[in-house]
Structures are given as C-alpha cells and as structure tokens.
Amino acid sequence: MGLYFTSYHLIKHHMNTNNESSQAKKHFKVMLSGGLAGLFSWVVGYPIDFIKTKIQSQDLDEKKYKSSWECFMRNYRKYGPRVFTRGLITVCLRSIPVNAVGFTVEEKVAGFMGRQPIE
C-alpha cells in the first residue's frame, strides 16, 4: 500500500500543472495519477500476490509449500518466469479505471471534509 499511495502522490506532483488550471484539468490529473498508480502497484506486486495466493489456497492438512521462497522456486522451475504474470494484463486493464475513480472520489470526499488537496 505504501508503494500505491507514494506512486500516486509522486505521479500527481510531477504532472505539469499550474494554479490557474481548470477543475476539469485537476480532475483529469487526479484520475490519471490514480490510474497509473494502480497500474504500477499491480505490475510490481503481482508476482508477490501470486505466491501469497498459492500459499493461502493450499490444503492445510497437506501443505505443498513450507515457505514463500519454496513456492516461488517450485513454480519457477516447473512453469518458468511467465507463471508470475498470468492474468496480469486483465488485472492491469481493470486497475486503471478502478483506481482513477477511487482516487477521484477520495480527493472529493477529503475536500468536503476540509482537507486541502495535495498538489
């Protein structure tokens, strides 16, 4: 989550804006920053999420993996490096609009509550 929010604020901060920009441009900046932050966090975190899911879904009575490292190595040896990116494109396509809307709503709600937007 730290990577997610940090990337959002860094992307938003580095986008070229000025104080006279319209509300539409500000909303677009938030939406684009949110969409890219979501995309970035999934690309970085997807292999880790794959391993977590494999470990969580194993039978507790007959554990297949003793550690995250063992899960990584066994899947890598059996299926190759592409196993850690299966389904990534679908997740990324979904993450862009979901996170764009999510950060836009968060910024609006925070504004209603009195927080000044972070530029």
Please state the pTM of the whole predicted model. 0.76
Look at phi and psi of residue 80 and say left if phi exceeds 0, alpha if psi is from -120 to 50, else beta.
Answer: left
Residue 108 confidence (pLDDT): 86
Decide: 95 and 38 in contact? Cβ < 8 Å: yes
* pLDDT at position 21 over 90: no
Q: 3-state class of 66 per DSSP?
A: coil
Residue 60 confidence (pLDDT): 86
DSSP state of 33: H
Q: What percent of the chain has pLDDT over 70?
A: 92
Domain range summary for the chain, segments of one domain joined by + = 2-112
Decide: 33 and 103 in contact? Cβ < 8 Å: yes
Residue 117 confidence (pLDDT): 60
What fold does the segment set 2-112 form as a domain? Mitochondrial carrier fold (1.50.40)
* pLDDT at position 9 over 90: no
Residue 119 confidence (pLDDT): 55
Over the chain, what is the mean pLDDT? 88
* pLDDT at position 19 over 80: no
